[in-house]
Amino acid sequence: MRSHRVLPIWLLWLTQGQGLTIPNVDDNSADTWQDSHQEFKRTIATEDQEYLTTYAKDDIIPATETVDVSKSKAQTGTAIVLPSLSDVEPHTEGFIVTDLYNPLQTEAPILSTSIKSPSSLLKPVASPTKNAQPSGLSKMATSNDIFANPIDTSAPLAMFQRKTDHPVPRLGISKSGPLETNKFYSNFYLGDQKAPVYTYPYALSWAAGAGAAASWGMAISHVEASQRVYGPLQSNKAVEYYINPVGIQSMIISAKELGSKTTLTMDSLGPHYARAILRKDSSSAPAITFPLSQGSLFTTAYYSGATPFIQSSVYFKSMTQVAKDPKTNVRKFNFVLEDGTTWRLYAYKTRGDPLNLTVTNNGLASSSKPFYGFIQIAKDPKSSKSEAVLDNGCGIYATGMTISGSAVGTKGTYSFNWSKSGHTSGNLWMFALPHHLTSFDAATTANLRDYKLQTPTKGVATIVGGTKWTMVEPSMPVNMGFAPWDSSKGSKGLSTKAKTTIKPIAQSEVSQDMIAQTNLDSMYFSGKALAKFGTIIYVINNLLGDAALAQSGLAKLKTAFARFGTNKQNYPLVYESAWGGLVSSASYVTGESGSDFGNTYYNDHHFHYGYHILAAAYIGSMDSKWLAANKAYVNSLVRDFANPSSQDKYYPLWRSFDWYHGHSWAHGLTAMWDGKDQESSSEDIMSVYALKMWGQVIQDTSLVARANLQLAVMTRAMQQYYYYTKDNVAQPSNFIGNKVAGILFENKIHHTTWFSPNIEAIQGIHMIPILPPSNLARTKTFVQQEWDTYFSSGRVDKIDNEWKGIIYGNYATINPSAAWTFFTSSKFDAKWIDGGASRTWFLAYAAGEFESMEAVAKTRLTTVIQPSPVFNRLRRSRIEAAS
């Protein structure tokens, strides 16, 4: 939810808009060189952001420089051996970004404004009515594929003003229609287009004349764990962050024709695939086209008559053309770089002459003829199966991926289905992340091979063969509803004494001024308040059994929600067709990109709209007529960030959720060196929980099934990448002591927040909001370890702000009795409650968890031994104390 700040322009590779042009060999002007080249080294950022971004003259080998090479007989062919570097050094460090700049306004994600106690208590309605089933709401047609059915395909509602423009231009994009805004390749159409795209395990960046090679091609980088940069050691004995250096140009795929007028454009943009295209200039035909897919074995480049340049800023030690072609019409070259790494290049000609490369110098191998076909490059870790996999997969590349799936009971199954093109011989090979491996079915597992590469922030990736992966989630939370829920025993009701304690607090909180708390300039904060009152009214109606008071509160909540349901809030939503989505009009009106956490820029839509959808689910579950009248509006919010079907022509597929990574990305339309990011993992879970509950209320069985599956996938992924128990092996051992990620980027993880360095905020942002799925991914083991690390032994009671209530609410997962005692204390201070939360819900959650745990304990004890009368008396005393 936090918005994101791009680096100042002077921190970029090309500062002041200057390109790194190759100097003429007879140019003796030191000033001319100094003006066109800038030193480029890595440095840990200081407070003043002192990145060194230039190259000295003697650090570059001009493309026009030739060197004498020697030949050596190798096992696979004749190796061209480059002379040792004497006056230049290989550029193996790159740079890192440690400071968290943010061009969008950043606020704490909690409502800290003091909430006034109601001057009078809400009175129950005189005669509560029975909720009837509405007409026109029926179960969606069943399908064997839970991804097959669109949520809706109708045009955006007339209440949403249409706009054809957007503050962010569609730079270099030729595709029309809805466009992806939060995907892995976004940096190629944002800012100056020079920030990397993280395909995993590689990072690709348009060199754009920068770097030691002064290339205009596509640079490929792969960073090993040994190259990471770690932050300072914190009091918990874990480092503050780890970062993978940016800007290392190990291999560069380029062409002789590219130069200072080169343009980068994109097409075929989808949720899992896109194409990047380099042209000589804006009016020329494509010189090189790069199909981009997450998990690609190769970086693939299609040449349609351009003359290949293969370059490196790390510099070549040797190049070997392998004597025996691995496939018909495929030539193979092995490059060993100055850092000791081995990279293999495959050239699959589709017509014309095969590729011949001549080594010009330590940084350039070039062809003398145009090439038609595919050049593919991959790093070889030289494991037992890696070269065989590369030889088998060369000439083949992915052209897209679709998702299919099914749900039967608690078991969910989903598949990645890749389309492929290229050579007719061999298999498609793609890298899988750790959470994929643990859920593969037997057939997919059989296609794993011993070829592994480190990823930036998701552990070690392993290669898998074939065009279909199938993954199984055996424990979807199908029985989770609105009530407090335990992953092992489901939901339990409240004891009579718990109800007696909660009721006066609930009556007071439902009597608060709902209009004042929800009529805000922010979709995010308004949504939090609406959902808060939804939980209170649910507790009153369903857990306390007071339908008369609930219906009185529901009438107030429907009035507050109507402001949004009729799109008459302070900054109404607009449908803009430039990118294709529902956005706040705030930035259009204010001119500020950061208004409402950057909602207009597609930041955090799943957070913002998730709260509204959840509020609507609460209301709709208690008023079927309201549900029928508001379904189209709420579905519009769902479609914006969770559209599953290409049949819906108004919204992109899966704007927020990344099925490859197993979680969402919050970051929208701003360029970032470290790629997409997401801070609040728990609000990500909330957004999918909201989809599940809304689907249940409107009886959309496909939506419910998808959400159940997503929750299971997120649980598996987040336990590797966001929530760290002591046995976590996906993250560095010196980082897991932080217990949570903080901010997870594609390229780094920083244990902090966008808005506060305080530990209660850093940990708490991964707790809010406390809801039934809170203990799904955040297991009891994890919560206990986190508590022991930061909050035990009275440390939590030193916190004196809104986060205290959130942390105690989270504590109810493992110690509901202590949480109950905290929230019922006579010394309880209202400032310990976030304006988006309530004591009513926290107490119901603690009591529900306590009842569930007591049931588990009772079952366990009666199975083993009959409890003694003394034990029974002690247990009754404990229950009464908690209730």
Q: What is the pLDDT of residue 861?
A: 32
Tokens at 497, concatenated: 């004494």
pLDDT at 20 exceeding the cut of 50: no
Identify the burial level of 698 via C-beta atoms within 10 angstroms of its C-beta, where 0-12 means exposed, 13-18 middle and 19 or more buried.
buried
Using 50, 70 and 90 to split pLDDT, how confident is the model at 877?
A: very low
Burial class, 453, CB count within 10 angstroms (exposed 0-12 / middle 13-18 / buried 19+): buried
CA pair distance 625, 621, nearest whole angstrom: 10
Q: What is the pLDDT of residue 299?
A: 98
Q: Which band of pLDDT confidence, cut at 50, 70 and 90, is reported for residue 424?
A: very high
Higher pLDDT, 177 or 648: 648
Which pLDDT score, from 0 to 100, does residue 851 have?
A: 58
Q: If you write DSSP's letter for every residue of 575-610 in order, what string do you get?
A: EETTTTEEEESHHHHH--TTGGGGGGGT-SHHHHHH
Sheet holding 241-243, edge to edge: 229-230, 241-243, 748-750, 743-745, 677-678
Q: Determine contact, residues 713/660, Cβ cutoff 8 Å.
A: no
Tell me how far apart the alpha carbons of residues 419 and 400 are, in angstroms, rounded to a whole number. 5
Q: How many residues comprise the chain?
A: 883
**Alpha-carbon span 187 to 180, nearest angstrom:** 12
| The pLDDT of residue 702 is above 70 | yes
Give 436 or 38, the one with higher predicted confidence. 436
How far apart (Å, rounded) are the C-alpha atoms in residues 494 and 282? 68
Most confident region among 110-124, 169-183, 256-270 by mean pLDDT: 256-270
Instruction: Categorize the per-residue pLDDT at 56 as very low, low, confident or very high, splitting at 50, 70 and 90.
Output: low
- What confidence category does residue 857 fall into, taking pLDDT thresholds of 50, 70 and 90? very low
Which of 409, 483, 441 shows the shortest CA–CA distance to 709?
Answer: 409
- pLDDT confidence of residue 62: 81
Mean pLDDT of 248-267: 97
Half-sphere exposure (Cβ direction) of 836: Cα atoms closer than 13 Å: 28
Q: In a 10 Å sphere around its CB, with 0-12 CB exposed, 13-18 middle and 19+ buried, how is residue 543 labelled?
A: buried
Tell me the domains of the chain and their CATH numbers. 9-102+172-397 (2.70.98.30), 398-473 (no CATH), 485-882 (1.50.10)
pLDDT (average), residues 346-365 = 97
Mean pLDDT of 135-164: 83
In which residue are the tokens 């989505």 written? 581
Q: What angle, rounded to 10 degrees, do the helices at 496-510 and 839-864 form? A: 170
Check residues 418 and 46 and name the one with the higher pLDDT.
418
Say what the pLDDT of residue 749 is: 98
Does the structure show a pLDDT above 60 at 726?
yes
Q: Evaluate whether 627 touches 706 at the Cβ level (below 8 Å).
A: no
Q: Average pLDDT in the 469-487 region?
A: 96
pLDDT band at 124 (very low <50, low <70, confident <90, very high): very high
Q: How high is the pLDDT of residue 489?
A: 83
Q: How far apart are CA 210 and CA 38, in angstroms?
A: 9
Rounded distance, CA 420 to CA 427, Å? 9
pTM exceeds 0.85, yes or no: yes
Give per-residue pLDDT as tens, 161-193.
Answer: 999 999 999 999 977 779 999 999 999 999 999
- Known catalytic residues are 604, 679, 683
* Average model confidence (pLDDT) across the chain: 89
| CB environment 478-487: b (16+ within 10 A), e (fewer) | bebbbbbbbb
pLDDT grade, residue 57 (50/70/90)? Answer: low
In this prediction, residue 180 carries a pLDDT of: 97
pLDDT per residue over 750-786, tens digit each?
Answer: 999 999 999 999 999 999 999 999 999 999 999 999 9
Per 3-state DSSP, the chain is made up of helix, strand and coil in percentages (nearest 5) of 30, 20, 45
Residues 587-611: what's their mean pLDDT? 95
58: pLDDT strictly greater than 70: no
Closest of 331, 326, 253, 324 to residue 292, by C-alpha: 253
- Residue 63, SS3 per DSSP: coil
What was the pLDDT predicted at 2? 33
The whole-number pLDDT of residue 872 equals: 40
More confident residue, 138 or 593: 593
Q: What distances in angstroms separate CA 536 from CA 254, 532, 550, 743, one per listed residue?
A: 60, 6, 9, 31
For residue 19, the tally of other CB atoms under 10 A from its CB is 16
Residues 6+ apart with CB under 8 A from 374: 300, 301, 302, 303, 346, 347, 348, 350, 395, 397, 422
**Span 111-130, average pLDDT:** 85
Cα 599 to Cα 583: distance, rounded to the nearest angstrom: 6
Measured in whole angstroms, how far is the alpha carbon of residue 190 from the centre of its chain? 18
DSSP 690: H
The pLDDT, as a whole number, for residue 104 is 65
Count CA atoms closer than 13 A to 753's CA, side-chain side. Answer: 21
Tens of pLDDT, residues 287-344: 999 999 999 999 999 999 999 999 999 999 999 999 999 999 999 999 999 999 999 9
The DSSP annotation for 357-424 comes to -EEEETTEEE-SS--EEEEEEEEE---TTHHHHHHHHTTEEEEEEEEEEEEETTEEEEEEEEEEEE-S
- At residue 113, the pLDDT reads 72
**Integer Cα distance of 6 and 448 in angstroms:** 39
Segment 808-851, tens digit of pLDDT: 999 999 999 999 999 999 999 999 999 999 999 999 999 987 65
Render pLDDT for 25-34 as a digit per residue (tens, 0 to 9): 233 333 322 2
- 865 has a pLDDT exceeding 80: no
Please report which confidence band the pLDDT of residue 402 belongs to, taking 50, 70 and 90 as the band edges: very high
Which has the minimum average pLDDT: 19-28, 515-524, 807-816?
19-28
Determine how many CB atoms are found less than 10 A away from the CB of residue 491.
17
pLDDT at 382: 96
| SS3 of residue 479 by DSSP | coil
More confident position, 879 or 472: 472
Predicted local confidence at residue 863, as pLDDT: 30
Q: Residue 49's pLDDT is what? A: 28
Q: Which residues contact 812 (CB under 8 A, 6 or more apart)?
A: 770, 819, 820, 842, 845, 846, 849, 850
Comparing 13-17, 736-740, 813-817, the range with the smallest average pLDDT is 13-17
* Helices H / strands E in the chain, number of each: 20, 37
- Arithmetic mean of pLDDT, 43-47: 33
Q: What percent of the chain has pLDDT over 70?
A: 87
Q: How confident is the model at residue 142 (pLDDT cuts 50, 70, 90)?
A: low
Mean pLDDT of 81-97: 90
**Mean pLDDT score, 404-428:** 97
